[in-house]
Amino acid sequence: MVGRFRPGSFQEVPVLASLLLLMSSSAAVGPHIENAVTIHTATRDYLEFDISPWSGCTAPIVWGAISNGLHTVEVDWQTSGIVVDSFCPVSPTRVNVVLPFPDSVGGSHGAFLVDTVVDANHGVTLTNVGRVQNPMQQLLCPMIPCFFEDSAMAFQKTTARIQSSSFVATFAPNSVQSLVAVSPWSLTTGLENFPEVAIPLPGNEGNWIREDVRQLSMDSLIAGRVTAPCTQTPGTACPDYVIEPYVQLPTGPVQYFYQQRSDPYRGDTGQGGNFQVDTVLKVGSGLHLSGYVNQGCGVPLVDSELINESRWLVASNGFTADSLASAFRVPSICTKSRPGAWPLNNGNVEITSNVWVSLKDLFRTAGILSQPTKPAGPTLRRVGQAADLDLPVPALVRAIDISGREILPLTEFAAGSHFLRFPASRSMLFVQARSGVSTVTLPLEPVR
């Protein structure tokens, strides 16, 4: 039999003794180790695991782990622990533990390859053990000759992409002005998948992540349509705004904090002890990792083109975030252009490196009629107690007074001229016309 483990320690035990503790996960009753991940860094290795299901506002006592030299570790812990918060409003349903390996285990810096984790006291054996590798191992890229397309081939490829796409638009950087400093960090959902810093794990909810990204939003619609997110139905009022399509694209490193109690933007806020985030109880060592999103052969670690270029022509199979991100995919080995996004400057498109062609020439060849990217908007003029509204495209129209009271309920109008009658009023009215992703507010002067 294996004796009691010293708290916080890792020990070597005979192979036979450790194998006797391997039990089927089907025998587990109550809280048990449900997921496990090893985190390899340049200085130390860590074992991360979830304990679930959990109830009550207490924390487990984790005595430590032992290794048997066969890529297997056994974790010893107890359900009876100290009370985290005697007044906690919501009991945690999961415990996430980050446990460091000491340098004495597995050689230099505790570099111990684990493929099996055993819950020594609760009858669970995990053989599907995830792994975070930081820094990522160097890729062995093939040495092959690359054949790059000439300008004629690039032109043909670009027009073919535009022809086959259901959505063509221009995009520009989206910036939000704020008088308050906005933190670049955000809480994680547990679904983040960056093998250099974190892989999906339910217990990773409530960690902190910071990505180098650039957000682009639609500047003008060229072909296709954007479906309004709200459909007017009886008894349902649609909002007066429509969110324009946008895409958030990674441009460089990603940073990640495990077991961090508060926003890293506020400085060194690391505090000892266990704490709860929503329904996840965090236990163990804090850990800060940084890495890169792009690791493919020929793919730059930092997307300098995306950072430097301000306006883009985009052709994709839709305006959803996934479709747009796919169009912006970073070129890999033997590729110099993105599949559906090209820099746009002064009406010219860079179809391949240093080859610019006119936007009109692209559209003419692709079968898209050249037209103003932003058509003339609606116009409104008073005619006595009524008003004449001219719409260049179909729109949803409503009228309100200066206090916000609705005079004309939201109504769908076809393109063309419309005669609107309003009740007598000595105050200014406002007519709002919404088409596609834009809402135009037109003032209507009172009757003199």
Contact 121, 310 (CB under 8 A): no
Query: Where residue 409 sits, what CATH number does that domain have?
Result: 2.60.40.3080
- Its domain, for residue 29, covers 9-133
245 in a structural domain: yes
Domain stop point among 107, 133, 159:
133
The series of mean pLDDT values per 10 residues for the chain, 448 residues long, is 40 39 47 92 90 86 80 85 69 90 58 81 86 81 73 86 92 72 87 93 95 89 75 58 76 92 76 82 90 75 85 92 90 77 90 85 73 62 83 86 79 89 76 74 75
What secondary structure, in 3-state letters, does 110-131 show? HCCCCCEEEECCCCEEECCCEE
What is the structure's pLDDT at 105? 57
Element spanning 216, H or E: strand 208-223
At residue 246's C-alpha, the angle toward residues 151 and 413, to 5°, is 105
Backbone angles phi, psi at 25, to 5 degrees: -65, -20
Residue 187 sits in the same domain as residue 100: no
pTM recorded for the entire structure: 0.66
- pLDDT for the residue 232: 59
Q: What's the chain's length in residues? A: 448
- pLDDT at residue 203 in the model: 95
Q: Is residue 146 part of a domain?
A: no
Taking phi first (over 0 means left), then psi (-120 to 50 degrees means alpha), and beta for anything else, what does residue 300 get? beta
Same domain membership, residue 170 and residue 101: no
**Domain end position, chosen among 345, 366, 387:** 366
Same domain for 118 and 49: yes
Give me 289's structure tokens: 């990792």
Q: What is the tally of structural domains in the chain?
A: 3
CA distance 232 to 240: 12
**Residue 312 and residue 327 in contact, taking contact as beta carbons nearer than 8 Å:** no
Residue 32 neighbours by CB distance under 10 Å: 20
**How many other CB atoms sit within 10 Å of the CB of residue 186?**
12
Q: Are 291 and 40 in contact (CB under 8 A)?
A: no
Whether residue 247 sits in one domain with residue 126? no
Q: Is residue 101 part of a domain?
A: yes
Q: 63 in a domain, yes or no? A: yes
- Judgement on whether residues 112 and 156 belong to the same structural domain of the protein: no
**H-state helical runs in 336-428:** 359-366
Same domain assignment for residues 359 and 311:
yes
Q: Which amino acid is at 213?
A: V
Report the alpha-carbon distance of residue 254 to residue 363 in Å, rounded. 38
Positive or negative, the CA dihedral 158, 164, 165, 168 is: positive
Q: Are residues 210 and 306 in the same domain?
A: yes
Q: Assess contact for 285 and 257: CB atoms under 8 A.
A: no
H or E segment and range at residue 50? strand 45-52
